[in-house]
Amino acid sequence: MSEEATDDVVKVIRTPVQLDYNYSAGKSATRFLRAMKEGKLIGQRCPVDGRVYFPSRGSCPMHGVPIEGEPVELADTGTLVTFSIVRIPAEAVPLDVPFVTVQVLLDGADTVLMHLLGNCELDDVHMGMRVKAVWKPKEEWTESVANILYFEPLDEPDADYDSYKEHI
Ligand SMILES: [Zn+2]
């Protein structure tokens, strides 16, 4: 190794780090993930105020009560509540930039789902637009939200602002 002195400063070093997790899904998430494998979107309704959480979960974080009722099957259509146009590539995202991340309020749900938008010009993306899920081929479905590839615009009038403003 050379012992020559240098004034060069190391500005960046690369230190790959990886953590593997074993995640215990529990009853509620298990039901949700098994439904995903069947192409169904399952939420659950809070017994106090009736809000529908998607994905389903075992308790309501607002009221601190268990959610044990029947699951609520949701449509794969919804309203784009907010979005972000991503122009910087990320190693964990196998997409060419720019791409669009979106928060979608599925029809019948009271919580938003973060996903991707496709088949849409960047200049056309806007809050309130109606969208529909684009699924992988059925034979590729697993217990994963990744069965939905992305959302794409629906040929419908925009949703009223009042219908999604509390989710922004
Ligand atoms: Zn609640």
**How far, in Å, CA of 83 to CA of 85, rounded?**
7
Predicted local confidence at residue 90, as pLDDT: 81
More confident residue, 91 or 81: 81
Q: How many angstroms separate the alpha carbon of residue 52 from the centre of ligand 1?
A: 9
Predicted local confidence at residue 157, as pLDDT: 98
Q: How many angstroms separate the alpha carbon of residue 12 from the centre of ligand 1?
A: 47
**How far, in Å, CA of 134 to CA of 119, rounded?**
10
Q: Which of 4-8, 19-23, 117-121 has the highest mean pLDDT?
A: 117-121
Predicted local confidence at residue 46, as pLDDT: 95
H-type alpha helices, the chain: 26-37
Predicted local confidence at residue 23, as pLDDT: 82
How much helix, strand and coil, in percent to the nearest 5, is found in the chain? 15, 30, 55
Q: How many angstroms separate the alpha carbon of residue 113 from the centre of ligand 1?
A: 18
Predicted local confidence at residue 3, as pLDDT: 57
Q: How many angstroms separate the alpha carbon of residue 158 from the centre of ligand 1?
A: 28
Domains of the chain, by residue range, sit at 25-74, 76-168
Q: How many angstroms separate the alpha carbon of residue 50 from the centre of ligand 1?
A: 7
Residues 132, 151 contacting (CB under 8 angstroms): yes
Predicted local confidence at residue 127, as pLDDT: 97
